[in-house]
Structure 1
Amino acid sequence: MKTSHTAFLISILLLASFSSLTHGLLLNGLQIGAVRVNGVLFCSLDGNLRGNSPPLSGAIVQLSCAGSQTNLSQALTNPAGAFVVLVRILDTILFDPSSCFVRVNLPVATCSVFPPDGALTASINLVNIVQTAILDIANFTTGPFVSSVL
């Protein structure tokens, strides 16, 4: 009996692995296979470009969605303060553009202007969808960062 139950479970898993994703992120009628979020972070009180504020290098940027207990993905800012957060095809199922945001937990060691605790958050906005032969990629950019207390 146990062998037939195990064989049944293995069959279901195999069928599921060979089927295409029928549920996932659908934008403008297109099945999205990957998500890319671009942004730039500066060493200013709120993380936005203020006057001649320098770019923030080496900060961890996380992509989170309301209702999800985990971060979908994260990236590190480069020397110009730029980052690209990539979301893999399987994680697009958890991605909801209306409830997702970018977060940087404070403090960040390379910027003494930030408060000692809290976070910087920014909304995300769809820029375009790039269709390729393999998959469709949704490109987002961040809105202005705002400072919040956790």
Structure 2
Amino acid sequence: MRTSHTALLISILLLASFSSLTHGLILNGLPIGALKVNGLLFCSPNGNLIGNSPPLSGAIVQLSCAGSQTNLGQALTNPAGAFTVSVKILDTLLFDPATCFIRVNLPIATCSVFPPDGALTASLNLVNIVQTAILNIATFTTGPFVSSIF
């Protein structure tokens, strides 16, 4: 008897994991199950590549959305200044490409040319949507960073 209840519960959970969310993120007519945001950060007055600006390693970048105090994800820049913020299926419900952005809080100790306070923010641009057997993954890249006071 216990085995049949366990098997039923496992079956229900398995079916639920394959069903699409009715109110989830939809891009280009496709339900999105995960998303990634890629970008580069440099040690320059605005965080963008200017001349031979060195890459900024070890900075925390956050994916935030206007009107929400919740960060949907964060990442650390690698030695080349690159980062990828990954967002799982439940957090895609809170994601809106029109209001979400990448944020870097200032100051950052390893870059002395940044302003002493505020943040750097960058908009998001859809690059592609990869369809897999299990879910669709949307990949975004950042636009240019700008200085912001929050």
TM-score, normalised to structure 1, is 0.87
Q: Aligned residue for 2:68?
A: 68
Deviations 1:90-132 (A, max 9, x none): 0000000011000000001110111111100000000100001
1: CA distance, partners of 2:93 / 2:111: 35
2: CA distance, partners of 1:57 / 1:18: 40
Query: Secondary structure at 2:121's aligned position in 1?
Result: strand
Amino acid at match of 2:36: R
Query: What is the correspondence of 1:1-150 to structure 2 with a 5 Å cutoff?
Result: 18=16, 20=19, 21-150=21-150
Deviations 1:54-101 (A, max 9, x none): 000000000001121211100000000000000110000000001100
Structure 1, unaligned runs of 5 or more: 1-13
Q: CA deviation at 1:18?
A: 3.5
Percent same amino acid among aligned pairs? 82
Amino acid at match of 1:51: G
2: CA distance, partners of 1:147 / 1:135: 35
Structure 2, unaligned runs of 5 or more: 1-11
For these two proteins, the number of residue pairs brought into alignment is 136
Amino acid at match of 1:57: S
Query: Secondary structure at 1:140's aligned position in 2?
Result: strand
Q: CA deviation at 1:136?
A: 0.3
2: CA distance, partners of 1:66 / 1:119: 14
TM-score, normalised to structure 2, is 0.87
2: CA distance, partners of 1:110 / 1:49: 16
